Structure 1
Amino acid sequence: MQHDILSNAFTSEETNQGSNTVVLRGFDGMGKTTLLRKAILEWAEGNLWKDRFKFVIFLDACDMSRVTETSLAEAISRDWPACSKPVGDVLSQPQDILLVIDGFEKLKCHWTIDTNTNNDWRRQQPTEVILNSLLQKKMLPEASLLVALGTKVMQNRPFILWHPKYIDMQGFSEIRKKAYFFQFFQEKWLASKAFRYVRDKPFLLSVCQNPLVCYLICSCLKWQLDRGECLDIVCGNITYLYASYLISVMKAGGQRLSHRQNKARLQGLCSLAAEGIWTQKYKFCRGDLKRNGLSDLDTSMWQGVDLLRRNGDCFVFPHKQVQEFCTSLFYLLEQPQDRVNPAIGSISQLLGEAYISDTRQLITNSYCIKHCRNLQKLSICIENDFPDDSRIFSRLYFLSNFGDRVDFFRAICDKPHLENLNLRGTSLSLVAVRELCETLKHPTCNIKQLNLDMCKLSPTCCDALASALVSCRTLKSLSLDGITLDYLGVLVLCVALGHPDCALHTLGMVALSKA
């Protein structure tokens, strides 16, 4: 479906209307990068945009960011075939160029419109300026852009694109899920058996919305089938799925090794992942692997189970989210005497200011938050990623103990430096709101600013919120912009605000009431 939309995205009619910037938008793991690369291959084979573009150029924003200063011409020339037309001649015909840009999710830059832009593609300048200039159509304005952006990037950088046309990546239907399984498994009877197992597990079937999750599940099941085991994936939440995937990996690749050897291999892999997160590196050379304790034999084992993949002369994880999960494990496995890589910071450094944008990150960061005494600001925006968000929010588990049920909000109770909690745009169930309010009333909680803008609160949440306003002595600022409540809900809040024990100084609210 998205492929058909892409084929018509750059018609002459669309371009004449100013829509020569197309954004492929979706959550991480939805297959944006795969679709971009497939589109480039189809163009090269003459099956896509045949009469529209003479040149299609792929730019990896993350790779480009490794160079402090460069020019657009120089950045393109690094991978330019020697027999091709000179880059300068190509860039002098921008109306015939499609620039395909990927990798923005891996960058930490925060750009604003009309800031640090330049239109000279020959000039040496910071990579950030080049990318910013391309996105804002200051550089090569006549060229067409096809950009992949994740949901988190769109939230952080909403104004950097010039008149974009959006193509949303949709989750898999059950038919597409089944098709993925039959493509993954070479034998039809194995595919049928694996898909029947998933279809009988409502949680697994519901999270099979994108290629990444389907890949994790299919990999687990394949390794279990290869070993003749009964199919079994723990499916309490997404973290359990990643844990099942990793357990299956270790069984597949390390069955002949001792527990100590397997742990050492896993520590090396997780150290590599953590170094990459800290240094914004997602491609690793053999020197990087050796520095983190991975021998050639270790690397071969991780390649054999597809947890490391060859990318030219380098190695990559199957997906950025897999690398992030391994980074979380690094802090679980680490002992005080293990710290040997100076590029990897501590949990406190990592979470001096935490931004969490999906349920998986919320769960995997719970352990870090629990042990981070210096956390000052916590921003969470978790949208309705799963059909039953109330169940996800009411059952949160720390990675420190997979069987120990610990509520997330209690992890922030004893953070004396945490004064700013931003939950803007998060879908909160009644259970989650009640737990939040109990946290606010806890004597060790020191939150002074709470942002609940656009939080989709139900009217029944007002009783708990009102109780917290009366009992919490530290809360000074509350923002409720964009929340629609009925008359009774507004009345309950007004009574709480008028209570003599309410310590609130600032209340922000727009479009609060509902007739």
Structure 2
Amino acid sequence: MKSDQPPAFSQEPLPDDNKEVESLDSEDALKITHNLLDRRSQTLLTVQQDIKAKLKHKYQHISEGIGHHGNQILLKDIYTELYITEGGSGGLNNEHEVRQIEMASKKQTTQETPIKCNDIFKPLPGQDKPIRTVLTKGIAGVGKTVSVQKVLLDWAEGKANQDVHFMFPLPFRDLNLKKDQYSLMQLLSHYFPELKEIDSIEDGETKTVFIFDGLDECRLPLDFKNNEKCCDVTQPTSVDVLLTNLTEGNLLPSALLWITSRPAAANQIPPECIDQLTEVRGFNDPQKEEYFRKIIPDQNLANEIIKHMKTSRSLHIMCHMPVFCWISATVLEMILKEAEKDEVPKTLTQMYSHFILIQIIVKNKKYNKATETNPKELSQSDKEMILKLGKLAFQQLQKGNLIFYEEDLRECGLDVTEASVYSALCTEIFKEESGLYQDKVYSFVHLSIQEFLAAVHALESCLDKKENVFSPTSDEEKQSIQLSDLHRRAVDQALKSENGHLDLFLRFLLGLSLESNQNLTQTGSTTQTNEETVNRTVRYLSDKIKRESSPERIINLFHCLNELGSNSLVEDMQTSLRSGTLSETRLKPDQCSALAYLLLMSEEVLEEFDLKTYNTTKEGYQRLLPVVKTCKRALLDRCKLTYESCETLTSALQTPNSPLRELDLSNNDLGDRGVELLCVGLTSPLRNIQTLVLGQCGLTEGCCSDLASVLSSPNSQLKQLELRDNDLQDSGVTLLSAGLEDPDCKLHTLGLSGCLVTEEGCAALSSALRSNPSHLKELDLSYNHPGDSAGGLLSAALVDPTYKLMKLNVDHGGECRLKSGLRKYACHLTLDPNTVNPNLILSEGNRKVTWVKENQHYEDHPDRFDYHPQVLCREGLSGSRCYWEVERDGTEAIIGVVYRGLKRKGKEDDCRIGANKKSLSLFCYDRGYELKVFFHARVWRSISGPVSKRVGVYLDWPAGTLSFYSVSSSGTLTHLYTEHTTFTEPLYPGFGFRFYSSSVTQCQIDGQDIQR
């Protein structure tokens, strides 16, 4: 927005007369017309100046969450620039907002351009579209309303946006009360009576900004789909209809709109109505320190406070919210100034307990009600006030309300008079506001204060009234109710919550159960908790951590343990993490949850998170999945993930500010349903995933439309997509090509190796490249059957300067590649008679080997194993992909691969398959599998998986992987293990035994049938 004086607002003297123009000659008529226009301009300027004066008076002081012990401060003296960025998470984030601020606390790994609040309507570099409507998201207390206040004050004081003629703040909490019908001009005149001096602001030259603060507080239906259309600013209708038509541009299309909202409510505005999405992230670390130094006059004390906040990760994270910085400054300034210092708060419960107590003390000093003997002792009326506010807080929290009107107060047993008294006495806890007119609105200063007081109410109801707030309590049950019963019920309710709205409440409730925190709040409870109660709750939380399936809910349970001072599991995991011994430990699921908690709470962003490096179960892997939201590169390949895992991953993909750029999910049984879920996260705004690897994930054409939507999404940053070894077929590739040809597709690399693609699929790809030739640089179609003509079409793109294609791989093609799964890589193997040990017999055309007691008379040969009962195949495998299957008969067998240089003579380990650096083997027996890996390190471990007589071996020599599979009687493959290395020479399949009469047979693979 420009800063020059609006040309329509001339300040020349008004003419004294108002003669009718039509009675004059043309020159006089023109003069009178100019005079009339000047008169209107002067009227507009007068109205503007009156509105600016009104807004300056209202917004020049900061009054909530900043005021110092009840003393208002000028906004310009305390204002600290907030971190506002383009974009947002997109979609709904089913996490408590405190969890979202924890993610925002991670160190930024990408360069983002901050947006100053006065530049909210300015196009960003590279943007050429006009911006009419801006939606700004941010969690409660992060600074949205203060940003609005700053913009209004700067405009009113002539410091910014002086090309704007009028700014109209219309908070939703005020609009909720308007039940009658109004025209737009009538509604504006109700807020701003000054506007009655002008007939309209719809002249096309008057630049107007509407600011709708607090969409999450809106109780109007905002029915964009069914509301009637309204284009006349003088037509009376409901406020709801006015708002939807203003937003859609039917009313005052020239007006600019700025809407603020908490994330969960932002989707009430249709995306097509939003031109710019921004996000208020609160304070970054330097801004936190700047704020503390501004609000604390004593700089030594400010430094001491900053130092203390950094010692507690949970408190430092919360300081991203300006309102929590104010709470902390209020508490710590008073505690650190005292001669006999109380214990300095280290948990959220301690901080809020001190805050409530300090506000009561300040109130009592102000109104001369403090007791001389103990100024920290609460009077009976103080206790009653806290408990009544606690009841209001709990009941409205259950309904999801942050603002309350008179009817809400009456439902909670509070009359308006009491509410007004409480808001006057404790302005920093509970407030009564008048809108721009005189209707009353009530709220707690911040959602977290409401959650804390709600927990006080729940605790007091249990200890004093023997009631469980989560369930009706009979007279008989009251006799036996215990605090641990309330804890269990509260934990269960919080775990059931889909959006985590009880997470912080639960942390406060459990923290208040400690006697030290109860002493702070002094709510009058005659029954104190004891150590056994706390221990029972700790055991219940620990049990829930072991059993709960939602990784996100589990993380909050660790926060709860922290409030109770029980951190042994986390501390043990921290010790293992620091010592580097985690890879040597078999992690239980609850240990994985503790590890996830530690990694998520760390301020550091992981460069790489390799899930398979942790030795745990399938459930353990599931619990570690939330960590992907805090790393740049997530390697989740071969971790037995399924469709259910994708629900957690989708939530992680939609996390604001996630640094994740590369995601490898290959070799997991995700299926089409899993990828469909992932694509929901991948198409959300500003997802920064650039590399997605989905090789061998059991995909078919069923997911290709979803993937095409990702490719064609204007929000997508995807540059590399790997889909190798999925049975997509031509039909799937054709669907995928629809996304590839879209102008918004910026894909550089596409991997379709081994995807059953023929001439038809290649033709679809060629067509897509013709439509969008400017981005794709690499295309891998190896191990397919493209045919000469289709291959020729694609090859032509390599030499045509119109295309960016630089690398095309169609190697290893042929009709034999049109087999499902790994069997397309089947290779023919025969046992080498020159290597067979004298106690082994070959049969069935050198495809079967059996261990016998009798010594066979073979000619001497340098390649023969003279001691160990082993045999190798003739064929050395290198440079390509190969798959073979063997079936054992007897109790056990050794299946492996070796380099040709493996020694053959003697009984030492350097002659045994799987016991040296020149070999690797899988030991199969009737009870399971054991692996011996010696390519890099001496590893011998048990492998879990279905026991089968048949084993599949897959070698991808160029990629450096060797995989073993259990093969069922129906031909289903179950992954057992994959070794990652770099192969330097051909590998020879080999077999060995430990017991007589055992045998191994090479299976013939023909199509999808396996024959002996």
TM-score (norm 2): 0.36
Write out aligned runs for 1:320-399 (5 A): 320-334=447-461, 347=470, 369-370=490-491, 378-380=497-499, 398=510
Deviations 1:167-191 (A, max 9, x none): 3323423331122112222343433
The one of the two structures with greater contact order (alpha-carbon pairs below 8 A, sep at least 6) is: 1
**Whole-Å Cα distance in 2 between the matches of residues 90 and 110 of structure 1?**
27
Write out aligned runs for 1:56-455 (5 A): 56-71=167-182, 72-81=184-193, 83-86=194-197, 89-91=200-202, 93=204, 96-107=207-218, 114-116=225-227, 118-120=229-231, 121-154=233-266, 156-157=267-268, 159-160=270-271, 162-225=273-336, 227-230=338-341, 232-236=343-347, 238-250=348-360, 252-253=362-363, 256=371, 257-258=377-378, 260-274=380-394, 278=399, 280=401, 282=403, 291=415, 294=418, 298-303=422-427, 306-309=428-431, 311-312=433-434, 314=440, 316-334=443-461, 347=470, 369-370=490-491, 378-380=497-499, 398=510, 401-402=513-514, 404-405=537-538, 406-407=540-541, 410=544, 434=589
Instruction: Look up the match of 1:463.
Output: 617
SS, match of residue 135 in structure 2 = strand
Q: Decide whether the 8 Å contact of 1:367 with 1:400 is kept in 2.
A: no
TM-score (norm 1): 0.66
**Whole-Å Cα distance in 2 between the matches of residues 333 and 87 of structure 1?**
57
More helix by proportion, 1 or 2?
1
> Alpha carbons of 1:428 and 1:128: their partners in 2 closer, same or farther (altered >3 Å)?
farther
Write the letter of the residue equivalent to 1:308: F
Write the letter of the residue equivalent to 1:30: V
Count of residue pairs brought into register by the alignment: 434
**Whole-Å Cα distance in 1 between the matches of residues 666 and 253 of structure 2?**
51
**Whole-Å Cα distance in 2 between the matches of residues 487 and 163 of structure 1?**
37
SS, match of residue 46 in structure 1 = coil
Q: Return the offset for 1:399.
A: 5.3
SS, match of residue 277 in structure 2 = strand
Higher-Rg member (1/2): 2
Q: Return the offset for 1:297.
A: 6.4
Deviations 1:321-374 (A, max 9, x none): 4234433433333369989xxxxxx7469xxxxxxxxxxxxxxx98764475xx
**Whole-Å Cα distance in 1 between the matches of residues 404 and 325 of structure 2?**
23
Instruction: Mark the runs of 5 or more structure 1 residues left unpaired by the alignment.
Output: 340-345, 350-364, 386-391, 415-419, 439-455, 469-476, 495-505
**Whole-Å Cα distance in 2 between the matches of residues 466 and 332 of structure 1?**
34
Q: Decide whether the 8 Å contact of 2:431 with 2:443 is kept in 1.
A: yes
Q: Decide whether the 8 Å contact of 1:62 with 1:106 is kept in 2.
A: yes
**Whole-Å Cα distance in 1 between the matches of residues 245 and 552 of structure 2?**
32
Percentage of matched positions with identical amino acids: 16
Q: Decide whether the 8 Å contact of 1:409 with 1:436 is kept in 2.
A: no
Deviations 1:391-442 (A, max 9, x none): x9xx99735735543539939989xxxxx98979x9999999946999xxxx
Q: Return the offset for 1:211.
A: 0.5
With 175-184 and 185-194 compared, the bigger mean Cα shift is at: 185-194
**Whole-Å Cα distance in 2 between the matches of residues 458 and 132 of structure 1?**
47
Write the letter of the residue equivalent to 1:43: W
> Alpha carbons of 1:327 and 1:204: their partners in 2 closer, same or farther (altered >3 Å)?
closer
**Whole-Å Cα distance in 2 between the matches of residues 48 and 208 of structure 1?**
29
SS, match of residue 146 in structure 1 = strand
With 28-37 and 267-276 compared, the bigger mean Cα shift is at: 267-276
**Whole-Å Cα distance in 2 between the matches of residues 202 and 376 of structure 1?**
24
**Whole-Å Cα distance in 1 between the matches of residues 546 and 205 of structure 2?**
52
Q: Decide whether the 8 Å contact of 1:135 with 1:161 is kept in 2.
A: no
Instruction: Mark the runs of 5 or more structure 2 residues left unpaired by the alignment.
Output: 1-80, 85-113, 365-369, 372-376, 473-485, 515-533, 559-569, 574-586, 594-608, 623-642, 651-662, 679-692, 696-721, 723-1012
**Whole-Å Cα distance in 1 between the matches of residues 496 and 673 of structure 2?**
19
Write the letter of the residue equivalent to 2:216: E
**Whole-Å Cα distance in 1 between the matches of residues 308 and 222 of structure 2?**
46
> Alpha carbons of 1:466 and 1:200: their partners in 2 closer, same or farther (altered >3 Å)?
closer
**Whole-Å Cα distance in 2 between the matches of residues 215 and 198 of structure 1?**
12
Write the letter of the residue equivalent to 2:355: Y
Q: Decide whether the 8 Å contact of 1:270 with 1:329 is kept in 2.
A: yes
> Alpha carbons of 1:111 and 1:463: their partners in 2 closer, same or farther (altered >3 Å)?
farther
**Whole-Å Cα distance in 2 between the matches of residues 428 and 411 of structure 1?**
7
**Whole-Å Cα distance in 1 between the matches of residues 190 and 222 of structure 2?**
25
